[in-house]
Amino acid sequence: MVTRLRCVLSRLRFLSHRREFEGRLNDEWQLHLDLLIEEYARQGVPPDEARRRARVELGGRDRFNQECRDAGGFRLLEELRQDAGYTRRVLARNPGFTLVVVLTLALGIGASTAVFSIVDAFLFRPFPVAQPDRLARIGGLSSYPDFLDYRKDGQVFSDMAAVRDLMEFPIDRTGEFVWAEVVTANYFDMLGLRMTLGRAFVRGEDDYAQRHPVVVVSHRCWQRTLGSDPGVIGKTLSVEGEPLTIVGVAPRGFRGLDMAAMPPDLWLPISMLETVKHLDSDPVWHNVHLRRQDRWLGIVGRIKPGVSFDQARARVVLVTRQLKMSYPATDSADWQPKLDPVGGSRSAGADSATLFKLLIAAALCLLAISCTNVAGLLFARAFARQREIATRLALGAGRSRLIRQLLTESIILAFLAFALSLGVFQFLVGLLPWFARNFDPVLDVSLVLDRRIFVLCAATSAVATVMFGLAPALAGSRQELTTALKDQGLVRSRIPKSGRLGWLVVAQVILSVILLIGAGLFIRTILHFQSVDPGFKRNDLVIVPVSLRKQYGFDSAKGAEFCRRSPENNRWPAFLAFSVWSVCWLWQSGCTE
């Protein structure tokens, strides 16, 4: 092994000092000649004859040089250079062919890799939490007292946290709307997240007896709204008039446990729910944590080491049965919580999973199409080149040499395509936010080129290119030279009857039709979404968010008055009419123009 390595290194040293090497060969040759002449002279041969004999004995100088060069490891390099040069000329002579092959491959690889990377970012990349496969979610919603009972059981879960997402509400300083979740204080610790800044919630901060106005902000919120301020910890963020102390910044990429939902920007202790939402006077939410019949919480637990998922599930069923027996009035019989792996529910719901599968299928189709296209092109050219190949064989080119040359050609084509496909990937990924600008926060996942996927796509195409690129060599070495060289008619007669070409065409047509139909349907669906008639004219409507909170001087009477009178008191001449309502569902669909 060491010897082999040294051998390679030594050869490389020679290769990099080629001039020196040639000089050395010259010197050696000259010395040998001189010494030989001297020797003949010593034997009494006259100088001219000595010179002649020495030369005869030494043999051809070119051959000597060539043999030494081969031993010096120059031969392969020399041939590689020849091949590369020849390839360059061949490709430059057929710029159309080169362009089409390279573009087709680059589009195929680039687009497939882009789609795979997007799908991977949503579907397959594990949660940025510790051991996500040990996390489980109790399906459906539970009440707070039930949650406490589940957690108290402690048989199969090492820890358990409750989560509830809130509606979006505005940050007071900027008026920007953010999404928030309320969680139990152990939430971040249970997930095993390392905060970017500050700390997670600590035990007792979710205490209902003494509420703690603290908040953890998401990495994205910290960057966008708080300007990546490194000294943000301890500062106050005012939400709906409630000053909250920022205690931590969540790690980058953590977007809650539900990939389909809007990623939360803020996390608050669960006991802050009422305070922040100003629900004290709302009978539905007031003291909701005390009532067993109100189910509003999601529960996530970390399964103890050594406990299987099925054991955990059985335990949850058992505890549920006990709860039903203990509280028959509130925990009704039809309440059937089940245990799901968190990773499994991450696929953004069944619909999105199907969509992603379709996308993957489309990407595979695209890759296959580009490969068959290129294969077809290379194959067609193989027949066109039969005369050339035959000529070169007739001139004494070895089969292996021919194959090496065609291999060089294919590899150079493939490499050009790889280089271009990286550009295609960047371009497509750059387009994505533009396409999906209405869903911007949902798409806030980092899209990076997945090396494994790129290598896979590239390897597939490379194999196809090389395989079909070699076709002329294989066909050429089989054919009889005389028939190949004789006339043009051979091109037609040599098209194989085995139907390989026919098979290619069929595959190509089938794939293209599938992709075309798929794309057509997809576009129709999107167009359909955009043209859904909401039942009113949207073009001239403006939505103005207003907040009728206590801190702005409203109470329930004044608020009701505002809502009743605003439509009548049109103080802005630009508006024709007013209407007031409490929840605006059209918010997301971009009709605020």
Name the phi and psi angles at 290, rounded to 5: -90, -15
Q: Where are the beta strands (DSSP E) in 370-433?
A: none
The alpha carbons of the chain give a radius of gyration, in whole angstroms, of 38
Residue 543 near another protein by CB under 8 A: no
CB 60 → another protein: shortest distance, Å?
Answer: 8
CB-neighbour burial class of residue 117 (10 A; exposed 0-12, middle 13-18, buried 19+): buried
Residues 156-175, one symbol each (x = binds another protein by CB under 8 A, - = not), give --------------------
CB 66 → another protein: shortest distance, Å?
Answer: 9
Interface stretch with another protein, choices 6-14, 173-181, 226-234, 484-492 (CB under 8 A)? 6-14
Interface stretch with another protein, choices 20-28, 411-419, 508-516, 558-566 (CB under 8 A)? 20-28
Cβ distance 229 to 238 under 8 Å? Answer: no
Instruction: Please choose, from the candidates 383, 384, 382, the residue with its C-alpha nearest in 3D space to the C-alpha of residue 406.
Output: 382
CB 42 → another protein: shortest distance, Å?
Answer: 11
Chain residues 30-89 in contact with another protein, contact rule CB under 8 A:
31-32, 34-36, 38, 58-59, 63-64, 67-68, 70-73
Rounded to whole angstroms, the Cα distance separating 34 from 296 reads 102
Tell me whether residue 59 or residue 305 sits nearer to another protein (CB atom).
59
CB 453 → another protein: shortest distance, Å?
Answer: 41
CB 386 → another protein: shortest distance, Å?
Answer: 38
Using alpha carbons only, give the angle 267, 271, 274 rounded to the nearest 5 degrees.
95
Rounded to whole angstroms, the Cα distance separating 117 from 123 reads 10
550-585 in b/e form (b: 16+ CB < 10 A) is eeeebeeeeeeeeeeeeeeeeeeeeeeeeeeeeeee
HSE of 276 in the Cβ direction (CA atoms, 13 Å)? 32
Of 7, 314, 506, 516, which one interacts with another protein (CB under 8 A)? 7
Tell me whether residue 47 or residue 241 sits nearer to another protein (CB atom).
47
Using alpha carbons only, give the angle 263, 267, 270 rounded to the nearest 5 degrees.
125
The residue count for the chain: 593
Tell me whether residue 24 or residue 538 sits nearer to another protein (CB atom).
24
Tell me whether residue 5 or residue 395 sits nearer to another protein (CB atom).
5
Residue 20 near another protein by CB under 8 A: no
Residue 207 near another protein by CB under 8 A: no
Tell me whether residue 10 or residue 426 sits nearer to another protein (CB atom).
10
Residue 29 near another protein by CB under 8 A: yes
CB-neighbour burial class of residue 544 (10 A; exposed 0-12, middle 13-18, buried 19+): exposed
Binding site residues, another protein, CB under 8 A:
3, 6-7, 10-11, 14, 24-25, 27-29, 31-32, 34-36, 38, 58-59, 63-64, 67-68, 70-73
